[in-house]
Each structure stands twice: as structure tokens, then as C-alpha cells.
Amino acid sequence: MTTETAWRKQPVAVLVSGGLDSAILVGELAQSSPRVHPVYVHFGLVWELAEEQRLRKFLAALAAPNVAPLKVFHSPLDAVYGRHWSTTGRDTPGYDTADEAVFLPGRNLLLCTQAGVWCHLQQIPVLALGILAGNPFPDSTAEYFRDLAGVINTAVGSQLQIVCPYQQLNKVQVLRRGGGFPLAETMSCMHPEQDLHCGRCNKCAERQRAFRAAEIPDPTRYATDPTP
């Protein structure tokens, strides 16, 4: 067993949003890790309540006995972000916007530091994220996560490993790995309308394109009919 795959046999925490990538990662790791700890962080963003509710439905439907109850942290960003589209719901990046439009500065930093300290205290040796290939953001590179793990380990005297097992895969490839999981219970929307995907934002567009490209029927319920 190589060092690249050995971590899969250890307890692992997964930073999970309830979207396709991180949800599929939880499902896959549940097939190899003795204990999977899903972690969700609330920043005070407009989609989070609907996202967490859907995530809980996904985990219940997954029904994997080695997946621990969802751990939820709160780290409000409204004082930092101010009247940002992510905290107000206004001017949400639309269907045809570039991926760069949805960048949330510092999000991965804050996700990993809080979860990393918790992993240290709980003696969980691995923290996993569902980062994909082609992610354009500066806090999503392999070098970034390597350096961040070093900072966390120096701060708390730990040996935490941060892994991104999908970093060489695109969304279609990941989606095809999740065929046996309850993907209807995932949420990839920045402006959900009650329990529905809005069908108009950047993330809804990304979701729809991925299902079409993967040639998998989209089980998602949208408030607005998907663009053909």
C-alpha cells in the first residue's frame, strides 16, 4: 500500500458542504476508512441552512454505520465580508458567470484551521476535502494545503495530513464515481428556494452541466427549469 492510499485505512474527517463532490467523497471513504467524520462549518452564508438540512438527509440515506454523526462548527463571516453577495443573497453570480465569480476569500483557510484543531483534539489523523482539478482559486492548490497542514501542525504539535483525493479529477469523473449514493439529497446552490435548487446560479449551472456530460439523469428539483 502506497503512502498516497494508506491514509484511506485510517479515521478521517471530511469537510463536507452537502454538494456533489464532498458528499461522494464521504460515501467513498465510508467504504475504506474505519471511521468517517463529516464536518460542516457555518459562516453565515445565505445557502447554509438549506445546505445543512440536505446534507443531513444525504447522510441518513447513505446509512453507513461507520460514518459518525455530523459535526457542525460556527464561524460567522458577516463582520469580515460585510455586504457581500454570499451574506446578503443579492447579485448572486448567475448561470453564465465564470467560476472565478464565486470565489470566497479565505474560506478554505478558515475551514481547515478550525477543523484541523478539532482533528488534533480528537486524534483524527486525516482531514479530507473534495477539491477538484481545474479549481481556479489560490487556496485550492496542493502546495497550499501542504503548507497549511504544516502551519496547523506547528501550532498544535500535531501530525495532521490534509488530503484532496479528487484533485486530479473533474466534476464529471467524480459524479460517475457516485452512482450508488443518494445524490438527490445533495445541494449545490447559492440561492436555494426553500428545499429547491434555484436553477439560476453559477453552481446550479455547474451541477446541470455535470449530469448532462456524465450522461446520468439529474435527480435534482429546481425552482426554475434547467436550461437545455
> Is residue 220 assigned to a domain?
no
Q: Count how many domains the chain has.
A: 1
Q: Which residues contact 16 (CB under 8 A, 6 or more apart)?
A: 22, 23, 25, 26, 38, 39, 40, 55, 130
Q: 193 lies in a domain?
A: yes
How are strands ordered across the β-sheet holding 126-128? 71-74, 36-42, 12-15, 126-128, 161-163
Q: State the CATH number of the domain containing residue 123.
A: 3.40.50.620
Strands (E), 89-219: 126-128, 161-163
Whether residue 104 lies inside any domain: the answer is: yes
Mean pLDDT within 210-215: 96
Which range of residues forms the domain containing residue 34? 7-214
pLDDT band at 100 (very low <50, low <70, confident <90, very high): confident
45-96 pLDDT, tens per residue? 999 999 999 999 999 999 999 999 999 999 998 899 999 999 999 999 999 9
Using DSSP's 3-state secondary structure scheme, residue 126 falls into strand
pLDDT tens-digit map of 146-201: 999 999 999 999 999 999 999 999 999 999 999 899 999 999 999 999 889 999 99
Q: Determine, yes or no, domain membership for 99.
A: yes
Q: Is residue 100 a part of any domain in this protein?
A: yes
pTM for this predicted structure? 0.94
